[in-house]
Chains A and B, each alone.
Chain A
């Protein structure tokens, strides 16, 4: 059943070769819409390739909140032929996609380059509007306006802006808001480029309006100025980066890896302004060990990586745990695995890896964020846990969140509080019997800050006594294992419920959806549709994976009439964890492992399908 969102949203897709400027166009478009008071959700799909391969940016906008995309396209903007029809021409054996024309909804519009001289019959669609725009000619017209006539070849990259302008004209959106967005993006030395781009949008919008009378069925309008909320447009990597700065991060280490690098590069750019040190290490083993060294010295340290890099961090992770380092916090941006897998695509297949990141038994904390606000709060709080419990912490994130844009209110920092845990205050500057790993009921020993007189300690990755020296003694081993492991119980007792799980919707419902991470947006938006289809629905979003809130999850699942597990992986890794921790098996499962994020349609369609008598499990795909 259509919802208010599905009636009023506009799904706009721009596609083209990598390096062709779709990012710039889409981000300006998104910002122009945000400034017009609309809610925007935008996500990008691209190849592990620098230049040439097909990429596309999907911007979904509505006057009501939106946090997911749909399969249909209302306006398709194509910078090349492949965006329209796929790559079967070039890749006969295994075409990687079939283009986007077949996704355009009836009444929708397709903007493309008239110079491609495509026979309209090739579209095989007489239910959509075709808008061939002579990109080169329009660009020439725009350049004349800024005194650069005859230079279209030099500025050919600006075809992207022409395409954007045409779609704006056809969608009926306010040009001025686009101009503002451009001028905001291109400042200072880039001011000249701003005017060129403004003229390109203007010329293209004018051309489209004057040459085509038929408009696409869905139009875009800004809210009246007085109704426009001041919002921000933010990516996951930025939300995490800002939270880390707010948390007092001192050292960020990284080794370049998709999709985690953008977060470190963002922090690196802000480093001087915020007195943050960012180090690009020689590999991920070095990254995590630098962070551990820094954490032991008493600053907050983090490293960001993806699955292949985290595989190299395994050894260091166990070292941090046995030496009770206050951290580091590892930000694990999941991508498609295994091995190199799908470097630039999304997946939720590292949950079980994050739960078992190294050999031996040791305590650590794993939290999974579902959206921008959670990523922000989790990133901040993870450092408090690292200090308080002296354990390494994993914040589990996804490529989908890393590179997607969301409109949101400014994130609230007023309630964030720094907690550095127990720091040893020496009773005297001389030897005073300080024990770094002193046995305590809650497992937490006050940590001395190296450099301080009276706090001298050594510690080691070998099993050690309370003073940190090597011992293989039997009683000490038992005591130390218990001392470390009891910290998990302490953490489970103290961590607030909002970090453990969220139950969205009514306590009792006909249907309980169970999931984690960034499927949250599509599930929440999809729930509204399912409700209109006649179900009462709730959604159990699991957040804290270790220590796992087993009792709470079990109680909620015992209450569930029908439960459906939704995960972006092959094996249902949260389902396995729930079964391990509660004994409850979730037989109805909607899974996706094609490397693309769940659309709202896939959630709704998948749930309907597994609730039918036909099958208990369904794999959905964007193919």
Chain B
């Protein structure tokens, strides 16, 4: 999390909310994520004007309108590049990108991968519900093979993507998964994600009560099998996802491998919690190695408008 000055006053939870009418369907899992984001900002007491929320397109894309911070509701799949540009311009802002699974793992897959390589100090939260809700329920990249939600004419004949596995390969330095309807845990995960120095990636299982009639809140609760399908990693005493020595490749590979195995647990046991964390130099820090002024000042505050270009002409003489 970027350094912020001690807030001059305590911000209320209400100050992170706008008066804009929320137009999600009744019972939508997005409400849980929205509330968690607002509570996380509140817990961290980040001044609202020091936050930039950047979203893609889809139901989740509307989130910035409902959070009273700076917000850019961008294009389908492009939230991460826009967030990257925003962070580069002013790395002292807390930048949180949000989007859906179609947005992030389908049309935005290239940016999902490459943002992991960069490791800017920002957070990416994906509202993962398995369908394209706003266009009436087509299969999203995370819908598994053979599944057929109610608006699909036929079952899917494509495999679903494993976003956590992709994130591990891409190089994300903080990887987690939450559940939209477990707000208390989700708030905690979002707080950790924002506090992590580097790009944090949080995939969130989200119910779409209108179009995804397979992954319902009853299904996650395991009403059919008599126990919840969600396995809490923080309840597992043996689970240690944090790399202690980033220079130790063996430890890195071991922890990534365990995270990968855990991400492939399917069926009746879906792990939620922190999968992997490592502290590596961020892109922001590496830029500051080249331009030392960036250590203490964001790009926007540097004296860029008083440059003397005479030496550049001298080189051409």
Contact = CB atoms under 8 A, between A and B. Distances in A.
A249 B307 CA distance: 10
A316 interface: yes
B313 A294 contact: no
A111 interface: no
Interface of A: 230-234, 238, 242, 245-246, 248-251, 253, 270-272, 274-277, 279, 281-283, 285-287, 289-301, 315-316, 319, 323, 410-411, 413, 418, 429, 449-462, 468-470
A316 B78 contact: yes
Given A297-B52, A458-B71, A450 B90 contact: yes
Contacts of B113: 282
A369 to B, nearest CB: 18
Contacts of B294: 275
Contact of A277 (B70, B83, B88): B88
Contact of B300 (A250, A282, A319, A454): A250
Contact of A253 (B52, B62, B85, B87): B85
B85 A294 contact: yes
A357 to B, nearest CB: 15
Interface of B: 18, 20, 47-50, 52-54, 57, 62, 64-65, 68-75, 78, 81-90, 92-93, 110-111, 113-114, 287, 290-291, 293-294, 298-300, 302-305, 307, 309, 312-313, 316-317
Given A275-B299, A296-B82, A297-B85, 6 more contacts: A232-B317, A281-B81, A285-B110, A289-B85, A293-B83, A297-B89
B307 A248 contact: yes
A250 B78 contact: no
Contacts of A295: 85, 89
Contacts of A283: 110
A457 B71 contact: yes
Nearest to B313: A410
A242 B313 contact: yes
Contact of B89 (A250, A281, A319, A452): A250
A458 B85 contact: no
Name the 6 nearest CB pairs between A and B, nearest first: A293-B85, A458-B71, A460-B73, A289-B81, A297-B89, A290-B85
Nearest to A411: B313
Nearest to A293: B85
A470 B49 contact: no
Contacts of B88: 251, 277, 279, 290, 293-294
A275 B313 contact: no
B92 A301 contact: no
Nearest to A452: B49
Contacts of A279: 84, 88
A293 B49 contact: no
Contacts of B85: 251, 253, 289-297, 301
14 contacts: A232-B316, A250-B300, A251-B88, A275-B303, A277-B299, A282-B110, A289-B75, A289-B78, A290-B85, A294-B88, A450-B90, A458-B65, A458-B72, A470-B65
Contacts of A272: 290-291
B309 A298 contact: no
B44 to A, nearest CB: 17
Contact of B86 (A294, A413, A458): A294
B120 to A, nearest CB: 10
A234 B316 contact: yes
A248 to B, nearest CB: 4
A206 B309 CA distance: 41
A233 B87 CA distance: 37
A290 B307 contact: no
Contacts of A461: 57, 73-75
B7 to A, nearest CB: 11
B3 to A, nearest CB: 13
A232 to B, nearest CB: 4
Contacts of B65: 458, 460, 469-470
B82 A289 contact: yes
B110 A286 contact: yes
B10 to A, nearest CB: 15
Given A296-B72, A458-B73, A245 B78 contact: no
Nearest to B48: A456
Given A282-B110, A301-B85, A458-B73, A251 B299 contact: yes
B59 to A, nearest CB: 12
Contacts of B69: 456
A80 to B, nearest CB: 30
Contacts of A246: 307, 309
B64 A458 contact: yes
B81 A248 contact: no
Nearest to B298: A451
B63 to A, nearest CB: 10
A470 B20 CA distance: 10
Contacts of B291: 271-272, 275, 277
A468 B55 CA distance: 14
B309 A242 contact: yes
A232 B86 contact: no
B68 A282 contact: no
B71 A453 contact: no
A66 to B, nearest CB: 18
A470 B62 contact: yes
B85 to A, nearest CB: 3
Which of B52, B75, B81 has the most chain A CB atoms inside 10 A of its CB? B81
A121 to B, nearest CB: 45
A461 B76 CA distance: 10
Counting chain A CB atoms within 10 Å of each CB, the highest count among B53, B73, B114 belongs to B73
A319 B307 CA distance: 31
B52 A450 contact: yes
A249 B62 CA distance: 31
Contact of B72 (A293, A301, A413): A293
B109 to A, nearest CB: 11
A297 B86 contact: yes
Nearest to A426: B49
B72 A285 contact: no
A275 B304 contact: yes
Contacts of B90: 297-299, 450-451
Interface centre among B50, B54, B57, B309 (most CB of A within 10 A): B309
B84 to A, nearest CB: 5
A294 B304 CA distance: 14
